[in-house]
Structure 1
Amino acid sequence: TLLFLGCMSSFRVKESASASYELLKEGNFDFKIFEKEPCCGEYVYSAGKLDFAKKIFNENFELFKQHGIKNIITTCGGCFYAFNNLYPKYLQDYDIPVKHVIQVIHKLEKNGKLKFQQSNDTVTYHDSC
Structure 2
Amino acid sequence: MSKRIRAGAVAAGAMLALTGAATNAHGAADAYPETSYYVSNRYNEVVSGNLVWYNQSVRVGGKLTVPTGCASVKYSTWTEGGRKLDEQVREVCNGSRGHGFTLDADVAGGAHHVWVDLRSAGIVNKDLCTRSGCESR
Q: TM-score, normalised by structure 1?
A: 0.24
User: Which structure: greater helix fraction?
Assistant: 1
Please say which structure displays the higher CA radius of gyration.
2
Q: Which has the higher contact order (CA 8 A, sep 6+)?
A: 1
- Structure 2-normalised TM-score? 0.23
The structure where strand makes up a greater share of residues is: 2
